[in-house]
Amino acid sequence: MLLSEFLRVLGEVETGITDREVTDVVYDSRQAKPGCVFVCLRGSSSDGHNYVPQAAAAGAQAIVAEEPVDAGDVPVVIVPDTKAALAVLSAKFFGNPAERDIKVIGITGTKGKTTTAYMVRSILEAAGHKTGIIGTIGVQIGDTVIKTENTTPQSYDVQKYLRQMANEGCEYCVMEASSIGLKDKRVYGFPFTVGVFTNFSEDHIGGVEHKDMQEYMESKALLFSMCKTGVMNLDDPNLEGILRGHTCEVKTFGFGKEAWLRGADCRHLNRPGFLGIAFEVSGAMNFTAEVGIPGKFNAYNALAAIGCCHVLGVPESAVKRGLSTVKVKGRIEPVPVPGNYTLLLDYAHNGVGMENILTTLREYDPHRLICMFGAGGNRPKIRRYEMGEVSGKLADLSVLTADNSRFENVNDIIEDIKVGMAKTGGEYITIPDRREAIRWCLENAEDGDIVVLAGKGHEDYQEIEGKKYPFDERVVIQELLDSMKSENT
């Protein structure tokens, strides 16, 4: 595409621009190359306006800035907001995938975004619709996961991934729309087919994030002036604030009688290898939902996913099938084992996360609740004390082992964990090698046990002495099961 035509999405631009093909849109001067358009972004620690000379020297054929800059002979286009400019230029460069080729579902809220996103994806794929995800765990297209730095990537990367998904046959993308991503216009300028609001509570306040709760709420609310239909948690006391300024059609879910989609009679499901919940759905749809993720709080996430997929026209059979088979990588993720016990992987790596998961699992009345965990090296020691104390109180047995020890000795970290354990009198054993600790859990699990391997979750490595070694617990578990089977034959 010629430069003059490409820049037209920004409105009136200066005449006399030499027309050449645009090779890329760049917001990092280190990535500048001949024929690119360089967009100056202001961030918390750097300002792209300061790097215009480097971008021009590298061959940028146009600079987009918020103020006059010295770019030599390279033309400069002044715009009110370069973040918005980057978003619309990126969409143009990748062919406007969200408008033409793929439907995008945005999910915002303080908690539950990742779980709800995976529920929506599971339901859509159960209905035969290939679906990608952009969120906390990364970008997932089919079985491929691309790691990202932010829950909602920069607008250029969002558009790039949407184009890749569309090219690989995805009909839908489910995106976690973080408050920071919305505030920074990373999803600016394209329509969401459905926007979902899970809940709102205090988070992300101070520093480089949000100055106060009002700004945090206003940032989340932006999604509902960008989507066609909003599926909203009616039971959340902050819903009115989230809806302020909305332009979408509103559908509500909750456990009250006024909701468009209602839940009732939530209860636990507990079978070997399967922990979940069941509840009755009425209103817009009527059926019994069984969800393959434990914790009654997940009924709200499931209602959000049901409501979203109903808006999209997904049949009841696919909704039921998708909810019963959903897995969120590294979030209370079940792993198949041959015994009559349940093995789970979870990312919990601090005291709050450990307390949440162990309290949830304790509700399922296990024969024993076994928690295997370590703690990260070169991190505050108080985190280790807290994790030890929480597991000592809530687990029947703790298996203390390695996590990402980084530049610390794993045995020193375990000694710190024991400080917290000592406050409780809880039982524990120590196996510093994480692979051997997993083997012990597999060999010693009893009928009715719930065993949770905490700390790694979706990570597929161990970091030791500055080097990352491959360590995907799913792979390790299968290798150990195969080894144990061969030893017993």
Is residue 232 within 8 Å of 197, Cβ to Cβ?
yes
Neighbouring C-beta atoms of residue 100, cutoff 10 Å: 8
- 208 pLDDT above the threshold of 70: no
Output the pTM of the full model: 0.89
Tokens read off for 460:
């597929």
pLDDT level of residue 78 (50, 70, 90 thresholds): very high
pLDDT level of residue 458 (50, 70, 90 thresholds): confident
Rounded Cα distance between 203 and 197, Å, is: 15
Rounded Cα distance between 280 and 243, Å, is: 27
Is residue 40 within 8 Å of 52, Cβ to Cβ?
yes
Residues 349-366: what's their mean pLDDT? 94
pLDDT tens-digit readout, 294-349? 999 999 999 999 999 999 999 999 999 999 999 998 989 999 999 999 999 999 99
Helix (H) or strand (E) holding 414: helix 410-421
Q: In the chain, pLDDT over 90 holds for what percent of residues?
A: 86
Is residue 242 within 8 Å of 224, Cβ to Cβ?
yes
Residues facing residue 78 across a β-bridge:
65
Rounded Cα distance between 39 and 27, Å, is: 5
pLDDT level of residue 190 (50, 70, 90 thresholds): confident
pLDDT tens-digit readout, 382-409? 999 999 999 999 999 999 999 999 999 9
- 211 pLDDT above the threshold of 90: no
